[in-house]
Structure 1
Amino acid sequence: MKENMPSALAFIFLFLNISLLNGQSPPGKPEIHKCRSPDKETFTCWWNPGTDGGLPTNYSLTYSKEGEKTTHECPDYKTSGPNSCFFSKQYTSIWKIYVITVNATNQMGSSASDPLYVDVTYIVEPEPPRNLTLEVKQLKDKKTYLWIKWSPPTITDVKTGWFTMEYEIRLKSEEADEWETHFTGQQTHFKVFDLYPGQKYFVQTRCKPDHGYWSRWGQENSIEIPNDFTLKNTTVWIIVAVLSAVICLIMVWAVVLKGYSMMTCIFPPVPGPKIKGFDTHLLETGSPSKQKVDQRLTLPGRFHKLDDAGTLDS
């Protein structure tokens, strides 16, 4: 046996020298890049593989939970893409510490990453807010502002209190180089004043839970601030006032032209006397000396015959 030892060691050294000359070596140390949960119900971990030593290298992710001695392998290497491990609801526990390690192995040897300690509650990174809408509005004092509103991420349950979400918006004009950022707290709307008329503004939003990280910035939306927003508003009111004045003048003119007819309809004339023998013309003049009243009407109960001359018989 002792005689064979030198030859065996020589063979090993020869093999190693040949392997090194061919650029083959054990794999480099992998590094866990990030672990993220979008909703406290699932999470994914990604890693950077490192060098492969010039040989086909296999990678595996193993984990154990705090207080448990059993080590488990990643349940899903496909859902989240290359060099990743996805944990569905079945494998996710909150308020538990995961000890996660990535292992690399090839024909020349193996290596392992530094362990990463993960609490799912503190690795939440939600999806960006959705339904971003922009609208230019005006206050009663004619001051213009940009009204921005949005909705929480679809998969985030903020109504039941499972999440407390905070938001940020950022905007810039097309001529600016840097973004202007505003923290909005838990409200899903915001007003921006002091805008430059005639310029186009770009807006984005993002959100963060009470524990965890900011989401990526959401889809960009844009709007142009009109130059003549106030002028347009004033012009509309001027047109309305002019039309109202014209309508009023037409109505007054119609009333004046047809005033007599309207007064006749409202206050019809009093009919003249219907008593036979009255001269309505004399009644209008009010001259009693010229009244020619049929004397038969003044002597009730007596009848006289008028002669041909028109005088009364005695």
Structure 2
Amino acid sequence: KPGEDGGLPTKYTLTYHKEGETTTHECPDYITSGPNSCYFNKKHTSIWTMYIITINATNEMGSSSSDPRYVTLTYIVEPDPPVNLSLELKQPEDKKTYLWIKWYPPTLVDVRSGWLTLQYEIRLKPEKATEWETHFAGLQTQFKILSLYPGQKYLVQVRCKPDHGFWSEWSPKRSIQIPNDISMKDTIVWIFVAVLSAVICLIMVAAVALKGHSMVT
């Protein structure tokens, strides 16, 4: 920021120029973002361009300027949260029940063109729990949760960040009720697997024993 204002009424302005250009511009909008701020809309921003920004102070004592700040938009982007978060409990036969979580990138982020890549993070917890369980999902827009407490209502949120920017806010909470009987179904499956494995082992042992007996006789 500029030096001390000496307690006098002081006017502050923000000026900037783009890397490789000599033309200096003043802040296009001092109002939208509130006091002591400058708002740049899409018309005044370019994703891959470096901006050199300076704050200037002027009063009866004269003028002073801050050191320049070098900013590239891709390194300071904070996207909107992901949208259309959906939860589904999958109960495939002979497999463990799991929670299937899906979402879509924020509407205003163009991920299809490839100019911006988003990473995602999920958090969930039983409704009455105090601590969240967090999972990094990488680039994928779907995720599978296997460890679930039967009979609990779960809350789930997701957020995103560009490669070099900041995490978005968490998406609105979505909830799903986990049935009480999922552990029973999982137990039955594993009992079946254990019994089947034991039967196969007994058959193999019997076959080896019969083969050995026939060779002796």
TM range (shorter): 0.7 to 0.9
> Which of the pair is proportionally richer in helix?
1
Aligned residue in 2 for 1:69:
22
Higher mean C-alpha deviation, range 186-195 or range 83-92: 83-92
Identity of aligned residues (%): 71
TM-score between the two structures when normalised by the length of structure 1: 0.52
Are the aligned partners of 2:120 and 2:160 in contact in 1 as well (CA < 8 Å)?
A: yes
C-alpha distance 119-147 of structure 1, shift in aligned 2 (>3 A): same
Deviation (angstroms), 1:67: 2.6
Are the aligned partners of 2:150 and 2:183 in contact in 1 as well (CA < 8 Å)?
A: no
Aligned residue in 1 for 2:109:
156
TM-score between the two structures when normalised by the length of structure 2: 0.72
Instruction: Choose which of 115, 118, 121 in structure 2 pairs with 1:168.
Output: 121
Aligned residue in 2 for 1:135:
88
Deviation (angstroms), 1:88: 2.8
Deviation (angstroms), 1:152: 0.8
Q: What is the distance in 1 between the residues matched to 2:140 and 2:60?
A: 57
Instruction: Write the mapping of 1:231-250 to structure 2, written as runs, cut at 5 A.
Output: none
Query: Structure 2 unaligned runs (5+)?
Result: 186-217
Q: What is the distance in 1 between the residues matched to 2:49 and 2:170?
A: 29
C-alpha distance 220-109 of structure 1, shift in aligned 2 (>3 A): farther
Higher relative contact order (CA 8 A, sep 6+): 2
RMSD: 2.7
Aligned residues: 185
Q: Does 1:145 align with 2:94?
A: no
> Which of the pair is proportionally richer in strand?
2
The AA in structure 1 aligned to 2:160 is: C
Are the aligned partners of 1:142 and 1:230 in contact in 2 as well (CA < 8 Å)?
A: no
Aligned residue in 2 for 1:81:
34
Instruction: Choose which of 209, 219, 226 in structure 1 pairs with 2:162.
Output: 209
Query: Structure 1 unaligned runs (5+)?
Result: 1-28, 31-49, 233-314
Deviation (angstroms), 1:192: 0.5
Aligned residue in 1 for 2:44:
91
The alignment partner of 1:59 has SS state of strand
Instruction: Choose which of 141, 146, 149 in structure 2 pairs with 1:196.
Output: 149
Q: What is the distance in 2 between the residues matched to 1:169 and 1:123?
A: 22
Show CA shifts across 1:9-48 (max 9, x none). Answer: xxxxxxxxxxxxxxxxxxxx46xxxxxxxxxxxxxxxxxx
Deviation (angstroms), 1:139: 2.1
Structure 1 or 2, whichever has the larger Rg, is 1
The alignment partner of 1:76 has SS state of coil
C-alpha distance 104-190 of structure 1, shift in aligned 2 (>3 A): same
